[in-house]
Each structure stands twice: as structure tokens, then as C-alpha cells.
Amino acid sequence: MINELKYKECIEACLQCMNACNVCYVSCLKEYELAMLRDCIALDRECADICAFAAQAMSRNSPFVKEICELCIQACLACAEECEKHDHDHCRQCAEACRRCADVCREMVGQL
């Protein structure tokens, strides 16, 4: 069974990613060229919600942690890829948080 410290690190990465995605989401809405950021805005919301769900699943030791975290990896990678298309600081920070979350989740899933 996975140790509690690894769950803790993954939960923290998911919550940090959720926060970065929420900041990016709100910041994108304030940018001048909204149409260019449409996909970024949508993926920010999806990723934030999935990261929050993954953190909750781990905190209650859900029997579906592996599957939920695999979905989290996919959402984080998609969001990071989209954010990297934009030059805004909030997009860059979001992409970094998403990539870190995906890495931590991937490592944790490999131990399940």
C-alpha cells in the first residue's frame, strides 16, 4: 500500500494546481483578447475541478484513486499544453503547476 507521505505530496500538488488553474482562469477573463484564450479558460476550469476531485479522492482513500489520478494527469497535461501557447505570467505559472501535478500523480499511480 502506498505510504501516507506520498498521498500527502500528491494531494498538495493537486491543490496547488487547482489554485494555479483558478488564478489563470480569472486572469484570462480579464485579458483583452478573450477569444484567443477561450480554450485556456475552459481547460483551466476542467483541470481545477479534476484536481480538486483527485485531492478529495485521495484524502478519503477512494478505491478509484488510481483511475481518478490517471484522469488528473490527462487534464493537467492538456491544460499545461494550452497554457504554454500564451505569454501571460498566469498561463506560465499554471503550466508549471500542471506539469508538476502530472509528474507527482504519475509517480504516485506507478506505486499503486
Give pLDDT tens digits for 4-45: 666 899 999 999 999 999 999 999 999 998 899 999 999 999
Digit-coded pLDDT (tens) for 71-91 = 999 999 999 999 999 999 999
CA distance 61 to 6: 12
- Model pTM score: 0.93
Summarised one tens digit per residue, pLDDT across range 59-70 is: 999 999 999 999
Q: Hey, what amino acid is at 29?
A: L
Position 48 pLDDT exceeds 60: yes
**Could you give all domains of the chain from N- to C-terminal order, each with its CATH number?**
4-111 (1.20.1270.360)
Distances (CA, A) of 41 to 13, 35, 67, 75: 20, 10, 25, 13
